[in-house]
Chain A
Amino acid sequence: MNWRRTGKEAAAILLVASVPALLSNLDLIRRQLKGEFAQSLILPAGTPGVAFIGLAEAGDLFQRGAALFVDSRPRDEYGAGHVPGALSLPLRDADENTVAVTPEALRIPADRPLVVYCGGGDCQMSILLTRLLREAGFGDIRIFEGGWAEWQNEGFPVEVGVDQE
């Protein structure tokens, strides 16, 4: 096996692949360089009806009762502790159509502000659930990036148990 020749051929294949990859995605590359995908790839900055918020704004919305919090974690994690009054809507159930996520099915007005959260950190569940909710017709969705970890660590109110109908 001539490894030098193999290396050159591999580099050539990579070059052959890279040229069309870059040329066919110039717009995406431009948006990436502008930072549009810093927070999410499928819900980039400027997506209508979707915003990423921090703890301060989430806390303010909670205090004023101005938004419905939606917990995208599995049901057992929700039961162990969640934002008081939050709706449990596990991503897996929504993704597999076990639970319908339309405004009619959830009996929530489509224009009601929602704050979706998951575990926090590198958790992607809130982003993926937000995409489903947006496609279902909800028009004002905020993703609380810090998630349950930050909410709990900063001493915000906690509710335990699963007593939703």
Chain B
Amino acid sequence: MTKNRAVLSAFCLVVGGVFIWAAALKIRDPLGFAQNIANYRVVGTALAFWIGLILPWLELAAGVFLIAGVWRRTSALLLSLMLAGFIVLIAVTMLRGIDVDCGCFGSLSRKADLGLLLQDAALLFMSGAIFASKAEPLGLIRKRR
């Protein structure tokens, strides 16, 4: 657990920023993102539709709250759970030999490969550190003491 507020703040900015950007790209094309989800062949078309609609907004909300310092640890927990899920999904997809675009960044998405897995692992480390730390990063909203 890191007590360095500057490092935690940097982690919040990186993780929150990545998720806000990724969410914005996917919100523009929810059906395209839903199709990316369906391509992983884990859920059917109907469930992929609803995930495609709601998940980007959840990423956006959690990313904004993380940077703003509102419900910070809960936001970090949600983002960590999403990242853990993405990592498992990518690993399983690679093992199954399915060639898909990850869908992470809308039309700018890359292939679901080892590089993406490592990128998500790095983000998971940062979000996990935020969740686990008792120190307060420099949030935008000051809490009354």
Report which A residues bind B (CB closer than 8 A): 1, 6, 9-10, 12-14, 16-18, 20-22, 24-25, 28-29, 32, 37-42, 92, 122, 124, 128
Contact = CB atoms under 8 A, between A and B. Distances in A.
B91 interface: no
Contacts of A20: 57
A1 B131 CA distance: 10
A91 to B, nearest CB: 9
A17 B61 contact: yes
Interface of B: 27, 30-32, 34-35, 38-39, 41, 45-46, 48-49, 52-54, 56-58, 60-62, 65, 71, 73-75, 77-78, 99
Best-buried of A21, A32, A39 by chain B (most CB within 10 Å): A21
A2 B27 CA distance: 32
B139 to A, nearest CB: 15
26 contacts: A10-B74, A13-B71, A14-B58, A17-B54, A17-B58, A17-B60, A17-B61, A17-B62, A18-B57, A21-B53, A24-B27, A25-B53, A28-B31, A37-B31, A37-B45, A38-B45, A38-B46, A40-B45, A41-B35, A41-B48, A42-B31, A42-B32, A122-B41, A124-B35, A124-B39, A124-B41
Provide the main secondary structure of the chain A interface: helix
Contacts of A24: 27
Given A16-B61, A17-B58, A17-B61, A10 B53 contact: no
